[in-house]
Amino acid sequence: MPTLSLDTRPEPLKIDLARTAVVVVDMQNAFASPGGMLNLAGVDISGADKVVRRIGDLLEAARAAGVQVVYLQTGYKPDLSNGGGAASPNPRKETALCLMRARPELKGQLLVEGTWDFQIVAALAPRDSDIVVLKTRYSGFAGTQLDSVLRARELRYLVFVGIATNVCVESTLRDAYFHEYWPLLVTDGALQAGPPEAHTATVFNVESFFGWTIDTDSLIKALRQS
């Protein structure tokens, strides 16, 4: 596979396609579909359909170029035993756990393994060649095998898409940087939880401190020319 020269910000970056993966973060009904967890929590997900389409276009180009696709999928056991106990801050801050506690009629329905809310949106369903890593915290590296899965395949350049830009995407991207990976954020392939300024802040953080950014059209064009 060739080395690609990408028109990234804040400066161009060369990546080795053979060592590159697209990391799809939490593109589940919970985060991207009407009636899902974020929608029930009152978060504006009106931009989700566009992000789903952009990610779908990118994954088509990435798979055609032989690039590995890795899905991160948040999910709790039905008894919520992996959500964190009384000593953990996770149940006090994570939206699904908070919402199920506040609204008992939703107990066992939000981000619980096997539920509709947990499932990856149908338009982005994983293929047999893709890797799916389950997680229970914002970062895909926290308490998972993601690092060992990537290292076993000698993957070092990670292209991030997903929801939410400012929560699980940024958390995982930061940890990728700390683990010596090369992170790229696809700016129009991610959607924030909260106001647009939250997305803008993550883009600033990535370009300034943790990695590089690119838009889907530029990345797809480069992949198709590889």
CA angle 30, 33, 35 (to 5 degrees): 75
Residues whose CB falls within 8 Å of the CB of residue 83, separated by 6 or more in sequence, listed in order: 76, 90, 91, 94, 97, 136
Please say if 93 is a catalytic residue. no
Q: Which of 14, 16, 98, 135 is catalytic?
A: 135
Q: How far is CA 165 from the centre of its chain?
A: 8
In the numeric block, the tokens 């919520």 are attached to 80
Q: Which of 50, 77, 168, 175 is catalytic?
A: 168
Q: Which of 7, 14, 16, 26 is catalytic?
A: 26
Q: Are 73 and 132 in contact (CB under 8 A)?
A: yes
CA distance 6 to 17: 11
Please say if 135 is a catalytic residue. yes
Please say if 168 is a catalytic residue. yes
Q: Which residues are catalytic?
A: 26, 135, 168
